[in-house]
Amino acid sequence: MAAILQLPGWLGGILAMLATIAASVLPFVLVRGWLSDELTTRTRDVVETVAVRIGTVHGLILALVFAEAQSAHTSLQQDVSKEVATIEHIALQLDQWNGSEEDALRQQLAAYIAAVLQSEWQPSTRLSGSREAARAYNNLDAGILNLKAETPQQQSLRGRMIANMDDLQDHRKARLSLFHRGLPSLFWWMALTGFGIIAGCFLVFPVTPVHIVILSIYGAYTGLALYFILALSHPYAGPAAIDTSAYTMVLKDELKTP
């Protein structure tokens, strides 16, 4: 299902709408011809009542899941911004250190950023993160803890860098947690089942151009909503992918890494 996210956003959205239109209209056109047209008004009233009630629940589920996916996506963006800001603070404080250890620590910080970009923005990343990023973080943390502060300025800088390293670890854990907060398969079963039931309720109506257009509109809108939810739940690829250029900018601008 996530393969559709590899396509451009506009194309993926159109394909999702076309798929749901076909899934709703084709059965309506093909199956309705086999059914008797002699349905009582009472039968149609019952079907309409059931369709309205199920449609209300279905729409509410889609709205709640969309809001949850949007909230998690926004929180992930914020944690990425906080992580990058903390990295920039550490890089600035290393510039102010003016000691022999500065170059080695800057290289270790650059190694952490490279490990995050290369191994922690993949769907296969573990919830605990990559070993490469953890190793780079531990090396940098140990290097800062082992700094010998010889002046009051260096004592202040060392304390602030230690605090920033703790913040960096917290932001990394929050990023990894949100990164893996996908949607359970139960939601997709509920969404597709509700869509199928509502489309099936149209079988009580005759096949007319107006009914086909109305059903197509419903299918297109549902498909677009499901595509947006799918995109928001996959922050590493697709039209809703989180922009990681801020990490690269720190490497090039702050750490002068090619």
Each residue's pLDDT tens digit, 196-242: 999 998 888 888 899 999 999 999 999 999 999 999 988 888 899 89
Rounded Cα distance between 57 and 11, Å, is 29
Identify which has the larger pLDDT, 182 or 232.
Answer: 232
- Sign, CA dihedral 157-161-167-168, equals positive
pLDDT tens figures, 187-197: 888 899 999 99
Query: Domain range for residue 238?
Result: 2-254
Task: Tell me: pLDDT of 258 over 60.
Answer: no
**Predicted local confidence at residue 165, as pLDDT:** 96
pTM of the model: 0.83
| Domains: count for the chain | 1
Using alpha carbons, list the distances in angstroms from residue 204 to 22, 31, 177, 198, 211.
18, 11, 47, 11, 11
Contact criterion met (CB below 8 Å) for 169 and 137: yes
Task: Tell me: pLDDT of 182 over 90.
Answer: no
Question: For 124, phi and psi rounded to 5 degrees?
Answer: -85, 0
